[in-house]
Homo-oligomer: A and B are copies of this chain.
Amino acid sequence: MKIDPIHILKDHDLKHTKQRVRVLEEIAMDSVAISQPELEKKLGKEIDRVTLYRILNAYEEKGILHKIMDMNGTANYAICSPSCSVDHHHDEHVHFNCTNCLKIYCLDVMIPKIKMPAGFTASTVNTTAYGICEKCSVLQSGN
């Protein structure tokens, strides 16, 4: 999926600034979600840490990014599908969190429908699998 930062910003009524474009570029760069600490490391010279917080929050609220929490409570971000909006995140695919390299993948696997007990109304469902990813399992068997 090709992404065009400037277009995305316009679509969501956000001014296009150097910093905002850089954040989107960096996140779109890889198909896996990127953690906030990683982003900080990569963009630390160009963007103030506080600004990064604000940009990520704005993006999440607008439905540009979705946030995935890992087991350590660290936020990871990935680009939303185009159908996401302020009101609803269509993030109905399975995430895979590698316990070795810590990367979070957005898998091309849908989350199965789940029957809720009476009285409970679900608006979103998140599924994350934990284990060893493709790359890490190759590396390990190589040793």
Contact = CB atoms under 8 A, between A and B. Distances in A.
A82 to B, nearest CB: 21
Contact of A129 (B119, B124, B129, B131): B124
Count of this chain's copies in the oligomeric assembly: 2
A75 interface: yes
A109 B114 contact: yes
A127 B107 CA distance: 15
A38 to B, nearest CB: 16
A85 interface: no
27 contacts: A69-B69, A69-B71, A94-B114, A96-B116, A96-B120, A96-B122, A105-B120, A107-B120, A109-B117, A111-B127, A112-B114, A117-B134, A118-B134, A119-B133, A119-B137, A119-B138, A120-B137, A121-B132, A122-B130, A123-B130, A123-B132, A124-B129, A125-B128, A125-B129, A126-B127, A126-B129, A127-B128
Interface residues of A, number: 39
A65 to B, nearest CB: 13
